[in-house]
């Protein structure tokens, strides 16, 4: 199926009840709705980003230029006044910081696929909050194109430490973040 056709199909696609859908490099990915640990982390992050300078949007799909991807980060941070006032997609070029909270089955997508997608779109920063490993990983300085794109800089902080979010000028207090219990650790980032 061509990129245009898959994008048109995805625009009309309704996922089954209880699932959410993302388009990642031409592949439709279905995931379960999020749990309380995940939702509490997203709420805490959103509350710490100043409303006066930033829009903090949940469940917002992102339009990625020149590739069939429409990721839906857990939180999208854009400057207040930037971007469209309507529609179903937020253009990647106005996004300052997408935030993903890792689940036990999203590790590869969040650390590899989405990281490459956001870097290729030149999104200034990408924050992964990882309750599996009890850490935050901030990626900055996007470089490269397509599937070879990545971020030059990576900062890892543990839950409980302040996490500087340079792209938006905020220090994130992670003291309230809960880690998942009884899960197998992974080897990312």
Tokens coding 175: 């003291």
pLDDT for residue 22 is more than 90 = no
pLDDT of residue 34: 76
User: Is the pLDDT assigned to residue 72 strictly greater than 90?
Assistant: yes
pLDDT of residue 151: 98
Query: Is residue 31 over pLDDT 90?
Result: no
Residue 66 has pLDDT above 90, yes or no: no
Homologous superfamily of the 35-173 domain (CATH): tt1808, chain A (3.90.1570.10)
Residue pair 89/72 in contact (Cβ under 8 Å)? The answer is no
All structural domains of the chain with their residue ranges:
35-173
CB–CB of 96/79 below 8 Å? yes
pLDDT over 90 (residue 27):
no
The 10s digit of each residue's pLDDT in 131-176 is 999 999 999 999 999 999 999 999 999 999 999 999 999 999 999 9
């Amino acid at each position: 199926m061509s990129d245009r056709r898959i994008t048109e199909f995805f625009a009309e696609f309704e996922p089954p009840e209880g699932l959410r859908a993302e388009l990642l490099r031409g592949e439709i990915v279905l995931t379960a709705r999020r749990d309380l640990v995940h939702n509490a982390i997203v709420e805490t992050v959103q509350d710490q980003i100043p409303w006066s300078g930033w829009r903090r949007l949940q469940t917002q799909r992102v339009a990625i230029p020149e590739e069939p991807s429409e990721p839906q980060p857990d939180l999208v941070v854009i400057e207040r006044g930037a971007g469209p006032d309507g529609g179903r997609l937020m253009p990647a070029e106005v996004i300052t910081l997408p935030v993903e909270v890792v689940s036990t089955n999203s590790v590869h997508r969040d650390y590899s696929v989405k990281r490459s997608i956001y870097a290729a779109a030149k999104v200034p920063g990408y924050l992964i909050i990882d309750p599996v490993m009890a850490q935050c990983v901030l990626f900055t300085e996007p470089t490269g194109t397509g599937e070879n794109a990545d971020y030059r800089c990576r900062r890892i902080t543990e839950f409980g430490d302040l996490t500087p979010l340079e792209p938006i000028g905020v220090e994130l207090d992670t003291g309230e973040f809960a880690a998942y219990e009884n899960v197998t650790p992974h080897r990312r980032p």
